[in-house]
Amino acid sequence: MKKKVLSILLAGAMVMSMAACGGDSGDSQSSAAASGSTGSSSSAAAGSSAADAGNATGELVDGKFAETRTITVEVYNRENDGGSDPTNNMYTEYIKQGMLEDHNVQVEFVSVPRWTEVEQINNLLAAGDAPDICVTYDYPTIQTYANMGGVLDLAPYLEDYKAELPNLWDWLGETNLYWDRDPETGTVWGIEAKLAVSNRINTFVRQDWLDALNMKAPTTKQEFEEMLIAFRDNADKLLGADADKMIPYSVSFDVGWRAATLIESFIDPAISDREFYVNGFDDRKLTQEGTKEAIRLLNKWYNDGLLWDDFALYGSGDSTEDDMMKAGYVGAFTHNWDYPFRNGEDSINASLQRIVGEDAAYVAIDCFEDKNGDYTKFVPGPIDRKIFFPSTNDEPLACMLYLDWISDPEHIEYLQIGDEGVTHNVLEDGAVETVAATGDAIQNSGMNIDYTITCNGLKLADAEKTAISRAHNYAGIDAAIVQAADVIANTDMRVGKNVNVGALSSEEGMGPVLSEKRDIAYDNAVIAPVADFDKVWDQGVQDYLNAGGQAIMDEREEKWVATYGDVDMLP
């Protein structure tokens, strides 16, 4: 009898727990379905916005909702050592409080890993769990989901609520808000955040090694190569017992980015906008004329022992290479224009000084001359991340107000520099100097770029103050070094133009596939034996083209002609 009772109880418990699980999944399914349907109905309403708009503004009193609304916002998680929880820290509190006070909107943050953001946001979108405000660097992802009806059209909101969104309109303006507006239908699937600083990439070298070898900073490819050889041959002198760890020039698996200055120096500086655009789907310039010769040089360096042997084995977000830079094994590298200065105490330069010695530092150099002897650097337009609302977003107005709030110059300033005495000091000339913060005040991303989603780069309310502060913006880094890097990054800059020919069907969903093909092509070409280089390179590029690259180039060419006619250069 006892046994029987027990078994009944056990079976009952199990069935209950099962039912609970089942109920759960049923719930989430139905709620997903519900939000899906509200999503589509709200996007339908947005299409014929007048009635809806009347209703919704009626709910706003002085920019505040009568009832508290809740929205979710994507924030990147960079998983920094010693960083804080990106969804809950001093800065998120500031935003949450501000939004609640100003608009009666409750904000929740959803963290997405920075280095796999495209995959993650795809997963979230496919599952119907994406945050109300999504941020990505990959526009084709937005376009693909928009074609499936998974993204809200922002155009009606931007127009109808223009009066409610002064800061957003002020800061981004038509240029960025309408950067991706479809020329035919007028839909806006995503808006482009603005780059306050256009600087893109720099090449860095160990100043103390140059000094130790009595060398000057190289100004040509030839001199750069000689410098690398000198590093290699003097490894004993420079690294002592660690001589076998010497890496004269370091690139990662993402060769197209990490040798970008070199690659761009082989591209014709007078290249037509048209040619640049047609080959421009891949921002690593795989198919641009000249790239092959750049990689040939890199291939030669690799075979001469000037590159890191294992570069292709470490994937995205791996810190091994950074650690080698910090430990002082790397002579030179190419990266974001301010890369070694980022992250305060944990920055590459600061770590280097701690580990190697006071005078150790990476400084920027300009050494890859193009055919005119200039140092042309191709930078995209003033655009940065792309912001969009998935169709599961049922609070588009509240989200728009969020974008407006986050674009308020004062809010940007606070998020970027924090409190005086804690995260920054004011110098005599009024410049703002960033100091390394501790604990809750630590910024997970430089200048909190992950929160100021409409702005990338230092932007204080006062423009003059911004200009003089930029060099003081990196805690613990000598302002002169930053200043020099800034100047070099701005030398011979060629800013990209907005080529907007509407949606290209051939690009749909191809981003990740082609990025991988590109990296495979680059990586294999770099490590090929010198004699096989042509074969390996051509094969890699061919593979890229076959996998969809060619179709994209053809469609781009076609649409260019359809939109601009036979013009080669845009005004």
Partner 1 sequence: MNSKKQPIAPRRKTSFKVYMKRYWQLYALLSLPLLYLLIFKYVPMIYIQIAFKKYSIVESVWKLPLAKNYGFEYFIKAFKSKDFILALRNTVGLNLLDLVIGFPAPIIFALILNELCFKRFKKVVQTIAYMPHFLSWVIIYGLALQLFAPSTGFINMILNNLGMESVPFLNESRHWVATYAGLGVWQNFGWGSIVYLAAIAGISPELYEAASVDGAGRFKKMWHITLPGIKPTIVVLLVMNLGNILGSNFDRPFALQNNLVMDVANVISTYVYKVGIKGLQFSLTTAVGLFQSVVGVFFLLMANWISRKLGERGIW
Interface residues with partner 1 (CB under 8 A)? 4, 7-8, 11, 14-15, 18, 22, 25, 36, 39-40, 118-119, 122-123, 125-126, 128, 141, 144-145, 148-150, 244-245, 253, 308-310, 312-315, 391, 508-513, 516, 519-520, 523-524, 527, 543, 546-547
Q: Which residues pair with 249 in a beta bridge?
A: 307, 332
Nearer to partner 1, 22 or 166 (CB): 22
Nearer to partner 1, 326 or 411 (CB): 326
Which pair of structure tokens corresponds to residue 205?
């070298």
Nearer to partner 1, 462 or 555 (CB): 555
Supply the minimum distance, in Å, between the C-beta of residue 261 and partner 1: 21
> 544: closest CA among 253, 285, 293, 276?
285
Nearer to partner 1, 321 or 370 (CB): 321
> 482: closest CA among 335, 364, 307, 564?
364
Nearer to partner 1, 305 or 409 (CB): 305
Supply the minimum distance, in Å, between the C-beta of residue 426 and partner 1: 45
Phi, psi of 136 (to 5 degrees): -150, 160
Supply the minimum distance, in Å, between the C-beta of residue 512 and partner 1: 4
Helix axes 90-103, 396-406, angle to 10 degrees: 120
Supply the minimum distance, in Å, between the C-beta of residue 305 and partner 1: 10
152 exposed, middle or buried (CB, 10 Å; 0-12, 13-18, 19+)? buried
Give the three-state DSSP class for 307.
strand
Nearer to partner 1, 87 or 542 (CB): 542
Please provide the DSSP assignment of 42-102 as one string.
HHHHHHTHHHHHHHHHHHEETTEESS-EEEEEEEEE---TT---TTSSHHHHHHHHHHHHH
Asked if 43 and 78 count as a contact pair (C-beta separation under 8 A), the reply is no
Asked if 103 and 64 count as a contact pair (C-beta separation under 8 A), the reply is yes
Supply the minimum distance, in Å, between the C-beta of residue 328 and partner 1: 15
Give the helix ranges, DSSP H, for 247-341.
255-258, 260-265, 273-278, 291-303, 320-327
Give the three-state DSSP class for 499.
coil
Supply the minimum distance, in Å, between the C-beta of residue 509 and partner 1: 4
Nearer to partner 1, 310 or 440 (CB): 310
Supply the minimum distance, in Å, between the C-beta of residue 455 and partner 1: 28
Nearer to partner 1, 18 or 212 (CB): 18
Buried b or exposed e, range 467-488, using 16+ CB within 10 angstroms: eebbbbbbbbbebebbebbbeb
Supply the minimum distance, in Å, between the C-beta of residue 537 and partner 1: 14
Q: Which residue has the tokens 């409750």?
A: 106
Supply the minimum distance, in Å, between the C-beta of residue 151 and partner 1: 10
Supply the minimum distance, in Å, between the C-beta of residue 310 and partner 1: 5
Cα separation, 270 vs 82, whole angstroms? 46
Nearer to partner 1, 3 or 566 (CB): 3
The residues near 552 (Cβ < 8 Å, ≥ 6 apart) are 281, 504, 506, 507, 510, 514
Nearer to partner 1, 144 or 353 (CB): 144
Nearer to partner 1, 148 or 355 (CB): 148
Cα separation, 299 vs 255, whole angstroms? 11
β-bridge pairing 247-250 and 330-336: parallel
Supply the minimum distance, in Å, between the C-beta of residue 550 and partner 1: 13
Supply the minimum distance, in Å, between the C-beta of residue 18 and partner 1: 6
Supply the minimum distance, in Å, between the C-beta of residue 150 and partner 1: 5
Nearer to partner 1, 290 or 512 (CB): 512
CA count, 13 A, side-chain hemisphere, 36? 14
Give the angle subtended at the CA of 209 by the CAs of 207 and 212, to the nearest 5°.
Answer: 115
Nearer to partner 1, 99 or 251 (CB): 251
Supply the minimum distance, in Å, between the C-beta of residue 98 and partner 1: 33
> Which amino acid is located at 122 in the chain?
N
Which pair of structure tokens corresponds to residue 159?
């127009």
Phi, psi of 183 (to 5 degrees): -65, -25
Please provide the DSSP assignment of 95-128 as one string.
HHHHHHHHH-EEEEEEEEEGGGHHHHHHHHHHHT
Give the number of other Cβ atoms within 10 Å of residue 158's Cβ: 21
Nearer to partner 1, 41 or 97 (CB): 41
